[in-house]
Amino acid sequence: MTWHGIHGHDDVVEGFRRRIAKRRLASTFLFVGLPGIGKRTFALKLAQALLCERSPEERLDPCETCPSCQQVLAGTHPDVALVAREKSRARITIEQLVGPDDRRMQEGLVHAIGLKPFAGRRKIGIIDDADTLAHGQGESANCLLKTLEEPPPHSLLILIGTSEQRQLPTIRSRAQVIRFQPLEESIVAQLLGELKLVEDATLAAQLAELSTGSLQTALDFADAEVREFRGRWLKFLSDAQPEATAFSKPLASFVDDAGKDAPSRRARLRLLAMGAIDYYRQLIRALHGQDVEGDEVLRKAVASGVRGWNLEIEVAAAALERCLEAIAQVDANANQATLIDAWLDDLAQLRLVGHV
């Protein structure tokens, strides 16, 4: 089933319907899940449903044609404020939340949702890329604290991130967490075709298999060079005697090829880290005698890794943890060259001697 074109999250829809029917809609929600699975689209569709002029909000069935629905769709509704990390920046800025220095608390999202609803039943604020609020010593997140502690009447705030752990405790403790599950491969393949992101059905199926349930990840692998490098990366991870020094340079070059802007390079490095996490998860499954999930390239890499494995399973778990740490370093904007050298060296040392 789909909810107004949104695939794979019917359980979340029903959860909101129950909350509204019982008049238990919280003032703050934290949407978490993989990137590219529809969290932002869902938040905007929820805003549309709550502000629709023709359909009662408890139905969560926006007509999509009334002026309010059209304004939400166009991003011009006076009662909906949306902020997201600007492409050229590493994080959401204070100015986006509370306005520039000379207009503090007179502009920005916090000011907007504190106003009386102009046309709808409530004010709705949506913060995309909420993971970045924890960067910069939490400056931006601290600006939200008063709003979270004392939410304005008739306001709803939705923060969108990838996990609870990447949010500041002050946010996590004051928000109701909604977990979005990865999309099924068939849904990813369907969306690639429906949105005309991939013309070839065979390629769409292949990308869906690599997607781990994320449309964004599927699109990352649409580049043939990215798929080719993934094979080299998995070979390094599965090698019984990995050469970290030799591989760090081509890996760094591959990351640099993503573009001149830092966010693009960070996204590519994060993609590699996620691929490594997937590899080690499947390796652990295989070492436990369980079936390996994934495409043929991943299964072959895991089989190669198992054949040469002479260490405790805990070493594979330690390698997985090191890759999770690498993602945290990427998100914290660590120096790229240092991050890559240290990360690959640590993985190689774990593979060779069983400890860092």
Check which CATH number belongs to the domain holding 229 and give it: 1.20.120
Looking at the structure, tell me whether residues 37 and 150 fall in a common domain: yes
CB 189 within 8 A of CB 183: no
Give a yes or no: residue 216 inside a domain.
no
Domain-ending residue, one of 179, 201, 232: 179
- 61: exposed, middle or buried (C-beta count within 10 Å: 0-12, 13-18, 19+)? middle
Give a yes or no: residue 19 inside a domain.
yes
Looking at the structure, tell me whether residues 322 and 230 fall in a common domain: yes
Give a yes or no: residue 47 inside a domain.
yes
Closest to 72 (Cα-Cα) out of 119, 30, 129: 119
Give a yes or no: residue 77 inside a domain.
yes
pLDDT per residue as tens digits for the range 198-208: 989 999 999 99
Amino acid present at 48: Q
Looking at residue 227, its pLDDT comes to 97
Looking at the structure, tell me whether residues 192 and 273 fall in a common domain: no
Q: Across-strand partners of 147? A: none
CB 164 within 8 A of CB 152: no
Integer angstrom CA distances of residue 271 from 70, 116, 257: 35, 42, 14
Looking at the structure, tell me whether residues 68 and 112 fall in a common domain: yes
Domain range for 344 = 223-353
Q: Interior CA angle at 62 toward 61 and 63, to 5°?
A: 115
Give a yes or no: residue 218 inside a domain.
no
Beta strands in the chain (DSSP E): 2-3, 6-7, 28-32, 80-83, 123-127, 155-161, 176-179
Q: Interior CA angle at 67 toward 63 and 69, to 5°?
A: 45
* Spatial distance between the Cα atoms of 61 and 67, rounded to a whole number of angstroms: 15
Question: What CATH number does residue 78 fall under?
Answer: 3.40.50.300
How many C-beta neighbours within 10 Å does residue 149 have?
Answer: 9
Give a yes or no: residue 217 inside a domain.
no
Structure token pair of residue 253:
């070059």
Q: Across-strand partners of 28? A: 157
Looking at residue 138, its pLDDT comes to 56
Looking at the structure, tell me whether residues 154 and 232 fall in a common domain: no
DSSP secondary structure code for residue 138 in this structure:
G
Tokens 């990360």 belong to 343
* Spatial distance between the Cα atoms of 233 and 247, rounded to a whole number of angstroms: 9
List of the chain residues with pLDDT < 70: 1, 135-141, 354-356
Looking at the structure, tell me whether residues 147 and 229 fall in a common domain: no
DSSP for 83-123, written as a single string: E---TTSSS--HHHHH--GGGTTTSHHHHHHHSPPSSSSSE
Looking at residue 274, its pLDDT comes to 94
Looking at the structure, tell me whether residues 251 and 265 fall in a common domain: yes
* Spatial distance between the Cα atoms of 251 and 267, rounded to a whole number of angstroms: 14
Which percentage of the chain shows pLDDT scores above 90? 75
Looking at the structure, tell me whether residues 11 and 136 fall in a common domain: yes
Q: How many domains does the chain contain in total?
A: 3
* Spatial distance between the Cα atoms of 336 and 321, rounded to a whole number of angstroms: 19
Q: Which residues contact 264 (CB under 8 A, 6 or more apart)?
A: 258
Closest to 122 (Cα-Cα) out of 50, 52, 69, 46: 50
Looking at the structure, tell me whether residues 196 and 313 fall in a common domain: no
Looking at the structure, tell me whether residues 17 and 153 fall in a common domain: yes
Looking at the structure, tell me whether residues 57 and 172 fall in a common domain: yes
Looking at the structure, tell me whether residues 66 and 116 fall in a common domain: yes
Q: 169-189 burial, b if ≥16 CB within 10 A, otherwise e?
A: ebbbebbeebebebbebebbb
Closest to 69 (Cα-Cα) out of 29, 31, 112, 119: 119
